[in-house]
Structure 1
Amino acid sequence: MPESDLANIELRSYFVRGRNCLLVRGQFSDLYMDYYLHLMQHGIKHEQHLDTMLKEGLAAMALHQASRPHDERCAWTIHMQDPLLNIFVTGGGYPQSRVTGRLFMDDIKDMGKSIIIAQTTRSNVPPRQSMVEFQGMDVLAAVEHFYTQSEQRPTRIFRLDDEEFVQISAEPDADTAWLKNLRQEDILKLDQLEVLSLLETRGFVFDCGCTVERMFPMLSRLADEDLDYIFEEGPAGITCPRCGAKYQVPREIFDAWLAAQNQSQDQDKA
C-alpha cells in the first residue's frame, strides 16, 4: 500500500506526576484497518483467537516503541507453547514510526516453554537480546512480565473499549504499590484522578516497507540448483519473514537484479 494511503495513529506519552510513572495510550482502530487490508491483499487468514493475539502484540510493540528513544528498533518473537506458534512483531523509525508482524504456525520448534525473545538495536550501541519465560496465553500479560523481568520496570497494560490500549510503566522512585493495584475502572477516569503531563505525541502506521526487490537478497544466498528448483514451474513464491506478504517473482527479473549486483561488485573491486 502506498505510504500516503496508510492510516497514521497517534500515541501520546504522559508523565504521571506524584506517581513517577510513564503512561502511553492510543486508539488502534485505524491501524488495525490497514492490518486487515494487508491480510486481504496477500490472502492471509487467521482464526479469530490467533488474530487477536497478533493484534495485541502489535499494540504492545507500538506502546513500547512510543516510550523508547527515537533511534531504537525492536523485534519480539513471542513463542507460545500451547498452541505451538510464534508471534513476531517489530517496530521502529522516526518521525514516522512503523509496526508490523505476522504469525508462524508451521514447523515451529518446540522449546518446552513459552518465551519472549527480544532483540533491540540502536545507533552506535551494541545490539542486545534478552529472553524471558512466561506462563499462559495472554499476550499483554506476557509483555508485562517481560518488562518486569528484562527491563526491570514494573508495567501494566490495559485493554479498553474501541481498541484503545494504555501502558503504564514505573520510572525511578515510582509508586509501585499504586501501579500494582490499578484497576480497569481507574484507567477510565485517570485524567480526573491524577495529574498527567504530556511529554510527546508520536505517529504510527502498520507497514513493513517490504518490496519484491528487498526479497531478492534472500534468494541470492541459495545455491544454483536450489534456484533452478524453485523457478522450475515458473515464478517463485517468496514470503516476507516480517509481515507475511507474498510475492511472485519471475526468473528473468531476479536474474537481471543479480546481474546488476554482480556488475556493481566488480566495479567496486576495480
Structure 2
Amino acid sequence: MQQEPVAEYTKVESIFVRHRNCLMLKGQFTPIFTDYYLHLLDLKEEHKENLDTALKDLLAVLTLHLTSRPWAETHAWTVNLRAPRVNFFATGSSVNENIVGKVFTKDVREPDRNLLYAQVIDRDKGGDPQLSTVEVPELDPCRWVEAYYEQSDQRPARCFKMPNEEYVLIAAQPDFDEEWLNELDEEKVAQLLQVEETKVLETRKYKFECGCSIERIMPGLLGYKDKLDELFQNDDQLAVNCPRCGTKYELTRELILDFAKRVEEARKQAEGGKS
C-alpha cells in the first residue's frame, strides 16, 4: 500500500465552544513528531521511551498553548523534575511558525519540588520577559499545562492526548460552564464538534525547527576574541552545541575573528550614519 505523505506543518485550530464559553485548541502532531525524530537521527541521539514520550507531549501542549496566545509572543518552558532527575525544555513562536525542544539528563540539579519555569517575550511590547514558576506533578505534560493554567493564568483548563497523535486543550473563558468542563473525558472530547455549537476562530501552523545557525551562536563567543588560546585549549576546532536543539557546530579561530571583524565594521558604519 502507498503511504500518505506526512504534511510539512502541524495545523492547530482555535475553536470557540458556544454556550460553554471555552476555547478549544486541537491539532494532529505527526508532522512535528516526524521532524523531531529526523532531528534525533541527525544528532545520533536516542532517549529512553518515557522521556521521549514526555518531550513529544510537551512539544504538543506548548504548541496548543501558543495558539491561544497573541501572535507576537514567544514562549519558553523549562521543567525541572526530581525523579527522574531531568530537565525538559521547549520553546516556540507563532510568528516563526516553529516549536523546538530538548531533554537534558546530565548535570541536572535536584530540585526540592517539580517546577515549571515559564518565560514569555512579547516582541510588540518589548521590555523584560515575563517569568512565572509553577509546581507541577510528575512525568505528565498534559497535567503540567493544566497546572500552569490553574496557578499562572488562574483559570482551569483540560488537556487530552487523543488517538493518532492528536492533542486537545480546552481552556476556560469568562462565565464558562464549570460543570461541563470538569466532566469532560476523552470520549466526550472526541464527539465535541458534533454535539456542541462551535466556531473556528483561526488556524495557525507549526513545524519542528530551531532556526539556529553559526551566525546566531557566534555573538556569545565574542567575549573570547582576545582569549582564543584559552577558549580552544590547543585544539584547531571548537565544538559548540545549540542549547535549544543540541545541533553541534564546529568553529575555528578564523571564523570567530572574521565574525568579530564584521561586527566591528557594522558598529562603525552605524555610528557614522548617526553622525
Partner of 1:109: 109
Q: Is the 8 A contact 1:237 1:248 kept in 2?
A: yes
**1:246 corresponds to which of 243, 248, 257:** 248
**Match of 1:142, SS?**
helix
Q: Map of 1:204-223 to 2, 5 A cutoff?
A: 204-222=206-224
**Match of 1:244, SS?**
coil
Q: Is the 8 A contact 1:91 1:98 kept in 2?
A: yes
Q: CA deviation at 1:227?
A: 5.3
Q: CA deviation at 1:113?
A: 0.9
- TM-score normalised to the size of structure 1? 0.92
Q: CA deviation at 1:73?
A: 1.0
- Alignment RMSD (CA, Å): 1.9
Tell me the distance in 2 between the aligned counterparts of 1:208 and 1:67.
21
Distance 1:151 1:226, change over 3 A: farther
Distance 1:188 1:159, change over 3 A: same
Tell me the distance in 1 between the aligned counterparts of 2:230 and 2:22.
57
- AA aligned to 2:83 is D
- AA aligned to 1:58 is L
Residue range with higher mean Cα deviation, 203-212 or 135-144: 135-144
Tell me the distance in 2 between the aligned counterparts of 1:221 and 1:35.
33
Q: Is the 8 A contact 1:81 1:112 kept in 2?
A: yes
Distance 1:227 1:217, change over 3 A: farther
Partner of 1:41: 42
Aligned length: 265
Q: CA deviation at 1:262?
A: 2.4
Partner of 1:200: 202
Tell me the distance in 2 between the aligned counterparts of 1:256 and 1:83.
43
Q: Is the 8 A contact 2:94 2:206 kept in 1?
A: no
- AA aligned to 2:205 is G
Partner of 1:257: 259
- AA aligned to 1:120 is V
Partner of 1:145: 147
**Match of 1:200, SS?**
strand
Q: Is the 8 A contact 1:231 1:251 kept in 2?
A: no
Gaps of 5+ in 2: 1-5
Q: CA deviation at 1:232?
A: 2.4
Residue range with higher mean Cα deviation, 193-202 or 218-227: 218-227
- AA aligned to 2:169 is Q
Cα-to-partner distance string for 1:16-62 (whole Å, 9 max, x where unaligned): 01100000101000111111111111222211111111111100110
Q: Is the 8 A contact 2:225 2:256 kept in 1?
A: no
Partner of 2:3: none
Q: Is the 8 A contact 2:40 2:46 kept in 1?
A: yes
Q: CA deviation at 1:226?
A: 6.0
Q: Is the 8 A contact 1:219 1:227 kept in 2?
A: no
Cα-to-partner distance string for 1:222-242 (whole Å, 9 max, x where unaligned): 474465443622221111111
Tell me the distance in 1 between the aligned counterparts of 2:238 and 2:264.
21
Q: CA deviation at 1:267?
A: 4.0
Q: CA deviation at 1:264?
A: 2.6
**Match of 1:168, SS?**
strand
- AA aligned to 2:91 is T
**Match of 1:70, SS?**
coil
Partner of 1:174: 176
Q: CA deviation at 1:72?
A: 1.0
Q: Map of 1:69-108 to 2, 5 A cutoff?
A: 69-94=70-95, 96-108=96-108
